[in-house]
């Protein structure tokens, strides 16, 4: 490719200093293989961590380490205070509304991530509310984590799983959703942003239609929280799930937002310490939400660092991050279209931060392996969306996914790498 290229899009926000952003991420400063600067484009799988998050983890373990809710000593009190303060920050971070009873943050349940949050709802709300003849609607673009838990609970309860189709462009067929909704529909569970295609689903419209039919709505927000401002009150959803590690926080921590009335009615997910009111061999009573869903010693350090990640994103300005990523995705899409034999997978009108593609007859794994040796990290395969791959009649894709620290130079490196892949396998 030529060394100098005309600019197609206006320059990225001049006030957005991407190099200053990158400087906050230690992992991005390294070289791999033969002194290749790392180009990290696997952010839909997990994001790198800013120094602020790493420092917060270190501070907890070196100065505050203690169990929460159990001690009168100073370390336990400090840890408990920091731990619960994050619940309030998370509630504010996603716009959790004030319920009829209790504060907004009482509707935030800590989980190990999006997967556990969905399993929690399926195992508690699903088991107590679903029965034979009921229906659960899922879209064909769902991650396996928003398919398998519902398959299992439908098998157990006799409820029926129905699938909302996806168009050739990779958009959810909302008209088909409306046709599927009926008085038997109890739940609509959809992803906010497709991890494979980047499609942004019209959650507000989906929620409006589902509620009109008397159904509840669960949204997988794993791919939306890192890339846009979230307001669950505005979206109108009943459940919203996300993971910390996809928003520059630690692995092994996430959150479930649920409407207070629903959480109150749901039975506990697990039994153990900290989720009880009183225990005797004659019977047990449970703590109020959210604690009745949080059995045992939690991931205290990771919760506290999740709060640091949310604070970091707020300080960055989530709308500014979103604009940077949107401009970068447009640039990446244009660069990709200049490459012979490339086929873009997922061309929805509303997209976020994901470019999936195939390159001629080159197997995605082979393309990913060559790119890796060039210092470019992408994801290959079916991305835990096998039903979507079946719908699109492909075995998988190469996926480049963007974050706040990616640059046009990263995209240029990717395009140059793909030209090398094409030459090698051409």
Q: 58 Cβ partners below 8 Å, 6+ apart?
A: none
Whether residue 349 lies inside any domain: the answer is yes
| CATH number reported for the structural domain that contains residue 421 in this entry | 3.90.1150.10
| CATH number reported for the structural domain that contains residue 138 in this entry | 3.40.640.10
DSSP structural state of residue 279: E
Q: How far apart are CA 190 and CA 243, in angstroms?
A: 16
Same structural domain for residues 70 and 81? yes
Domain range for 354:
18-37+317-425
Q: What is the four-CA torsion angle of 344, 348, 353, 355, rounded to 10 degrees?
A: -10
Whether residue 13 lies inside any domain: the answer is no
Same structural domain for residues 279 and 299? yes
Specify which residues 285 forms β-bridges with.
Answer: 278
Q: 231 Cβ partners below 8 Å, 6+ apart?
A: 94, 95
Same structural domain for residues 206 and 328? no
Q: Which two tokens stand for residue 367?
A: 């393309």
Same structural domain for residues 177 and 326? no
- Residue 10's pLDDT is 43
User: pLDDT of 73-101, one tens digit each?
Assistant: 999 999 999 999 999 999 999 999 999 88
Same structural domain for residues 290 and 394? no
Whether residue 202 lies inside any domain: the answer is yes
Same structural domain for residues 287 and 414? no
Q: What is the DSSP string of 318-336?
A: HHHHHHHHHHHHHHHHHHH
Same structural domain for residues 338 and 399? yes
Q: What is the DSSP string of 89-156?
A: HHHHHTTPPP-SSS-GGGGEEEESSHHHHHHHHIIIIIHHH--TT-EEEEETT--GGGTHHHHHHHHH
Same structural domain for residues 120 and 31? no
Same structural domain for residues 33 and 84? no
Q: 116 Cβ partners below 8 Å, 6+ apart?
A: 254
Which of these, 237, 357, 254, lies nearest to 302 by C-alpha position?
A: 254
Q: Which helix (H) or strand (E) holds 57?
A: helix 51-59
Which of these, 247, 236, 244, lies nearest to 304 by C-alpha position?
A: 244
Look at residue 169 and give its three-state secondary structure.
coil
Whether residue 9 lies inside any domain: the answer is no
Q: Integer distance in angstroms from the first to the last C-alpha of the chain?
A: 17
Q: Do 105 and 87 touch, CB atoms closer than 8 A?
A: yes
Same structural domain for residues 264 and 326? no
Q: State the catalytic residues.
A: 384
- Residue 133's pLDDT is 96
Burial 139-154 (b: 16+ CB within 10 A, else e): bbbbbebbbbbbeebb
C-alpha gyration radius of the chain: 22
Same structural domain for residues 248 and 389? no
Whether residue 405 lies inside any domain: the answer is yes
The residue count of the chain comes to 426
Q: Which two tokens stand for residue 387?
A: 């039903």
Residues of the chain scoring pLDDT < 50: 1-11
Domain final residue, candidates 269, 298, 314: 314
Whether residue 5 lies inside any domain: the answer is no
Look at residue 181 and give its three-state secondary structure.
coil
Same structural domain for residues 106 and 242? yes
Whether residue 289 lies inside any domain: the answer is yes
Residue bearing tokens 């508690």: 124
Q: What's the count of helices (H) and strands (E) in the chain, helices before strands?
A: 15, 17
Query: Pairing relation of β-strands 376-377 and 39-40?
Result: parallel
**How many structural domains does the chain have?**
2
Domain final residue, candidates 276, 293, 314: 314
Domain final residue, candidates 297, 314, 331: 314
Whether residue 212 lies inside any domain: the answer is yes
Q: Do 208 and 200 touch, CB atoms closer than 8 A?
A: no
- Residue 12's pLDDT is 54
User: pLDDT of 246-301, one tens digit each?
Assistant: 999 999 999 999 999 999 999 999 999 889 999 999 999 999 999 999 999 999 99
Residue bearing tokens 């931060």: 353
Specify which residues 69 forms β-bridges with.
Answer: none
- Residue 152's pLDDT is 97
Which spans in 190-299 are helix H?
203-212, 232-235, 260-265
């Amino acid at each position: 490719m030529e060394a100098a290229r005309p600019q197609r899009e206006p320059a990225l926000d001049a006030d957005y200093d991407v190099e200053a952003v990158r400087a906050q991420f230690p992992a991005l400063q390294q070289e791999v293989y033969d002194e290749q600067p790392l180009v990290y484009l696997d952010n839909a799988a997990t994001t790198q961590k800013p120094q602020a998050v790493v420092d917060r983890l270190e501070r907890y373990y070196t100065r505050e380490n203690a169990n929460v809710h159990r001690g009168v000593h100073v370390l336990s009190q400090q840890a408990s205070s920091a731990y619960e303060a994050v619940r309030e920050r998370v509630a504010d971070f996603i716009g959790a509304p004030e319920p009829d009873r209790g504060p907004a943050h009482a509707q935030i349940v800590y989980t190990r991530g999006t997967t556990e949050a969905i399993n929690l709802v399926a195992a508690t709300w699903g088991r107590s509310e679903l029965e034979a003849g009921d229906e659960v609607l899922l879209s064909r673009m769902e991650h396996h984590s928003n398919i398998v838990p519902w398959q299992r609970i439908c098998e157990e309860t006799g409820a029926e799983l129905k699938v909302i189709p996806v168009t050739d462009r990779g958009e959810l067929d909302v008209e088909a959703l409306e046709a599927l909704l009926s008085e038997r529909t109890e739940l609509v569970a959809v992803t906010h942003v497709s991890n494979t295609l980047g499609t942004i689903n019209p959650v507000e419209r989906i929620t409006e239609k589902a509620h009109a039919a008397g159904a509840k709505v669960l949204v997988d927000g794993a791919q939306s929280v890192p890339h846009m401002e979230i307001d669950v009150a505005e979206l109108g959803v009943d459940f919203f799930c996300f993971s910390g590690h996809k928003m520059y926080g630690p692995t092994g921590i996430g959150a479930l937002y649920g409407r207070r009335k629903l959480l109150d009615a749901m039975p506990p997910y697990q039994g153990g310490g900290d989720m009880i009111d009183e225990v005797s061999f004659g019977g047990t009573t449970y703590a109020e939400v959210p604690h009745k869903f949080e059995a045992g010693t939690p991931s205290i350090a990771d919760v506290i660092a999740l709060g640091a990640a949310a604070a970091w994103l707020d300080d960055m300005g989530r709308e500014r991050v979103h604009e940077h990523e949107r401009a970068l995705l447009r640039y990446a899409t244009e660069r990709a279209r200049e490459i012979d034999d490339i086929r873009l997978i997922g061309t929805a009108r509303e997209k976020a931060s994901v470019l999936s593609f195939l390159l001629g007859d080159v197997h995605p794994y082979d393309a990913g392996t060559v790119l890796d040796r060039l210092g470019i990290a992408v994801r290959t395969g079916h991305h835990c969306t096998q039903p979507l791959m079946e719908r699109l009649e492909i075995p998988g894709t190469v996926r480049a996914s963007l974050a706040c620290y990616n640059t046009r130079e990263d995209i240029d490196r990717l395009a140059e790498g793909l030209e090398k892949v094409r030459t090698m396998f051409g």
